[in-house]
C-alpha cells in the first residue's frame, strides 16, 4: 500500500458537490438521450412534450452551471493530491473546458431553436417547463445547430476523459481524489 492511500484530501462543500452531480446527471442524460426529445419531423408541431423537455433541461444546465461557476469563484477548489505537473495542467484544462461547455452547449441550443423551428410548426410553443417560451433569439442560421452538436460531441469526449482520470486516481494512484466530490 502506498503512502498516498493515507491521504485524506480536503473536500468540496455540499453545495459544490450537489451542483456537480446534478449537472453531471443532466449533461449525461442530454448527451445520450436528449437528441431523441427533439425528433420532430418537418411540418409537425414543436409544441410536443419532447422539445419542451429538451429545452427546459438545457436551460436548467445553463442556469445551474452559472451558479456553479459563481460558487466556484467564491469557494475555491480544495488542493489536489500530489501529482505530476502535466496532470495538474490536464486537470485544469479539462475542468475549464467542461465548465465552458456547460454554458456554451445550452446557449447554442437556444440559438438553434429559430432555424430548427422554421421547418416545423409552432416553434414559439417550446417553453421552459411550460412556463414561458424559449424561442427568443433571431435566426442566425443552421451553423448554430451544427456547433451545438459538435460541442456536445466534444463534451462526451471530455466527460469520458474526466471519468477515466478519476478512476485512475481512485484505483491506480489510490490517492482518494474522488473523495473530494462525495458526500461521505
Q: What are phi and psi of 82, to 5 degrees?
A: -60, 130
Alpha-carbon distance values, 176 to 25, 159, 164 (Å): 22, 19, 14
Which three cell numbers mark 60? 436548467
Name the pLDDT band for 119 (thresholds 50, 70, 90): confident
Rounded CA-CA distance 37/23 in Å is 18
Are 105 and 145 in contact by the 8 Å Cβ rule? The answer is no
User: In the chain, where do the E strands start and end?
Assistant: none
Q: Among candidates 125, 107, 104, 144, which has minimal Cα distance to 40?
A: 125
CATH number for the domain running over 9-181: 1.20.950
Q: Where are the domains of the chain?
A: 9-181
Three-state SS sequence of 31-64: HHCHHHHCCCCCCCECCCHHHHHHHHHHHHHHHH
Rounded CA-CA distance 105/112 in Å is 10
Q: In this predicted model, what pLDDT tens digit does every residue of 134-160 receive, in sequence order?
A: 998 999 999 999 999 999 999 999 999
Span of 8-12, 30-34, 80-84, 115-119 with lowest mean pLDDT: 8-12
Amino acid at each position: 500500500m502506498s503512502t498516498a492511500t493515507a491521504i485524506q484530501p480536503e473536500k468540496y462543500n455540499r453545495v459544490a458537490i450537489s451542483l456537480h452531480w446534478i449537472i453531471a446527471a443532466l449533461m449525461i442524460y442530454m448527451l445520450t438521450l436528449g437528441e431523441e426529445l427533439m425528433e420532430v419531423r418537418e411540418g409537425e408541431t414543436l409544441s410536443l412534450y419532447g422539445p419542451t423537455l429538451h429545452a427546459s433541461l438545457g436551460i436548467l444546465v445553463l442556469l445551474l452551471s452559472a451558479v456553479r461557476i459563481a460558487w466556484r469563484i467564491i469557494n475555491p477548489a480544495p488542493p489536489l493530491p500530489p501529482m505530476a505537473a502535466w496532470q495538474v495542467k490536464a486537470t485544469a484544462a479539462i475542468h475549464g473546458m467542461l465548465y465552458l461547455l456547460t454554458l456554451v452547449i445550452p446557449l447554442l441550443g437556444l440559438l438553434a431553436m429559430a432555424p430548427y423551428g422554421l421547418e416545423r410548426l409552432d416553434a414559439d410553443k417550446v417553453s421552459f417547463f411550460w412556463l414561458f417560451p424559449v424561442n427568443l433569439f433571431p435566426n442566425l442560421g443552421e451553423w448554430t445547430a451544427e456547433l451545438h452538436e459538435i460541442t456536445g460531441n466534444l463534451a462526451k469526449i471530455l466527460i469520458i476523459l474526466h471519468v477515466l482520470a478519476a478512476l485512475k486516481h481512485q484505483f491506480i494512484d489510490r490517492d482518494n481524489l474522488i473523495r473530494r466530490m462525495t458526500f461521505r
